[in-house]
Amino acid sequence: MSVLSRVGGRFLRGLVVLSVATLLIPASGAAQSTSGAGVPDSAFGLVDSLRADGEFRDALARLRTLRADYGDEVGVLWRMSLTKVDSAKSTDVDSRVKALYREALNLADEALAVDSSAAHAHHAKAVAEGRIALDAGRKERVRRSRAVKRHADRAIELDSTLDGAYHVRARWHREVADLGFLEKVVVKTVYGGLPDASMEQCIQDFERAIQLNDERLHRLELAKTYVKLDREEDAKKQLRALLDLPPREAFDEGYGYQAQQMLNGFE
């Protein structure tokens, strides 16, 4: 096996981590906007509450009803996209997971077709692109990684208060910056390269996400970043702060468990 092949394989495993990272988007991020010209805010509020409670099937059913009643409203479509990803995260059936990711990507594209200036639609697109990259070939994975960064950037340009977009971009920076020298050479030479990334920008984006919405997921991933940088005390600080936060979202109990396990590992 050639050096390029071995390094390419390591890069692909790293990119899988990046793709997984983009999935972890909190329901609260979706609740920040109720964009949808004719849909009552109360209808979106109920959907967002169902997502936060982990009732993804009911949330999708209500979104389908809203789409039937109000047509292709951007607020309905990007919520459907993110809820499809939520649903995929909650199933172990591999074929169903893949189908849900494809559906999520299609819905994000539909949302952008309705309104390309909707920050949440770009956020949903970044999330879906990352998930589709999991089962893509090498060249496609790099292309979709670029799309994750591009749409996260655009979401932030359109709405600088969207914490989920900062979270996606932070994790993109972490995974790409963590590539080794030879891996970066292979990615540039064989696959056309990726945008510049840095751990400094990763930390800044996580800190901004926490400023906007102090929740468990942001602090957990910032702690993991500090672990990579051998900043143990900073990591502990984030994990303890995480455990002081009450669980508010469907996956928060799991994040708390991860945080406690990480703290135990420092002992």
Domains of the chain: 3-198 (1.25.40.10), 214-267 (no CATH)
Q: What is the Cα–Cα distance from 80 to 70, expressed in whole angstroms?
A: 14
Count CB atoms within 10 A of the CB of residue 56.
23
User: Which amino acid is present at 177?
Assistant: A
Give the residue with greater pLDDT, 261 vs 176: 261
Each residue's pLDDT tens digit, 130-187: 888 777 777 787 888 899 999 999 999 999 999 999 999 998 899 888 776 666 656 6
- Per-residue pLDDT, 196: 83
Give the helix ranges, DSSP H, for the chain: 3-23, 27-30, 41-52, 56-70, 74-89, 94-114, 119-132, 138-158, 163-177, 181-191, 199-212, 216-228, 232-244, 252-266
Is pLDDT of 22 > 70? no
Q: What is the Cα–Cα distance from 188 to 21, expressed in whole angstroms?
A: 22
pTM of the model: 0.85
Q: What is the Cα–Cα distance from 240 to 167, expressed in whole angstroms?
A: 19
Each residue's pLDDT tens digit, 35-48: 556 899 999 999 99
- Per-residue pLDDT, 173: 92
Q: What is the Cα–Cα distance from 123 to 64, expressed in whole angstroms?
A: 20
- Per-residue pLDDT, 187: 64
- Per-residue pLDDT, 21: 40
Count CB atoms within 10 A of the CB of residue 37.
11
DSSP secondary structure code for residue 37 in this structure: S
Q: What is the Cα–Cα distance from 32 to 22, expressed in whole angstroms?
A: 19
Each residue's pLDDT tens digit, 184-213: 656 666 557 777 889 999 999 999 999 999
Q: What is the Cα–Cα distance from 162 to 167, expressed in whole angstroms?
A: 9
Q: What is the Cα–Cα distance from 187 to 76, expressed in whole angstroms?
A: 37
Q: What is the Cα–Cα distance from 159 to 117, expressed in whole angstroms?
A: 10
Expressed in angstroms, the distance from the first to the final Cα of the chain is: 41
Q: At what angle do helices 163-177 and 216-228 cross, to 10 degrees?
A: 20
Is pLDDT of 57 > 80? yes
Each residue's pLDDT tens digit, 84-139: 999 998 998 888 999 999 999 999 999 999 999 999 999 999 999 988 877 777 77
User: Which amino acid is present at 70?
Assistant: Y
- Per-residue pLDDT, 7: 44
Phi and psi at 147, nearest 5°, equal -65, -40
- Per-residue pLDDT, 1: 46
- Per-residue pLDDT, 167: 96
Q: What is the Cα–Cα distance from 162 to 21, expressed in whole angstroms?
A: 17
- Per-residue pLDDT, 260: 97
- Per-residue pLDDT, 184: 67
- Per-residue pLDDT, 189: 61
